[in-house]
Structure 1
Amino acid sequence: MHSLPESKKNHLWRKLVWHTDTDLHPLGPFHLAEVYCCDESNGYAIWYVRRLAKDDARGVAGVENADYLLQYFSKNHRDAAIERAVMLANADPSADKVIAALDRLAGGAQKVSADR
């Protein structure tokens, strides 16, 4: 059993919405779109991590790769935070449609870090 990196230990729930197929691109860069809910010092946060290739046509044009804080919940609303994250990440069977919806939410979200 391997241990989780320290930065992931506070994750209550996470889902890779889409990621690079490593069988098709074993040596290439790894790209992904992910939603996760984590325990913060005074509540719960829902994050959207967007790391798509520069030429990837998924999502909404002009949305940058970054970590986006989509929503924050108080300490008393743990279940609501997890439920919201699950609903966002599973809003459609199509990963492309989920990414487009998350990109639209990212427009009004706090952008925390950008692609380097």
Structure 2
Amino acid sequence: HLATHAARAGRPFKLRVRLNGLDAVCRMVERGVGVAIVPEAAAQRAAETLAIRAIPIDEPWTVRQLRLCARSFAALPPHARQLAEHLVEHLGASESPGFERTSPFAGPGQSPG
């Protein structure tokens, strides 16, 4: 995500350390290894137990594009399908490539909707 935005800005992106898990990243920051850009929720969790400070970044590039994913929306159990339908109806569907433009809830041979 960050590398893409750096490339768009024509800036080099030099990743020094790659860790598995946001908790590990925040522990390395606490030990003074450097700085990290992490999701707000992870920073808030870490700040409760670790000696770190978290400063919000209010920039357009920090907004992440999220996707609702399922193996088969048509085959979801009723409670999961209701949640997914609610999210699609109230949050809208993306126009980005690869996103289904017809209803994702129609099974094979069924009409969308």
Query: TM-score of the superposition, structure 2-length normalised?
Result: 0.21
- Rg larger in 1 or in 2? 2
Task: Point out the structure with the larger helix share.
Answer: 2
Task: Point out the structure with the larger strand share.
Answer: 1
More relative contact order in 1 or in 2 (CA 8 Å, sep 6+)? Answer: 1
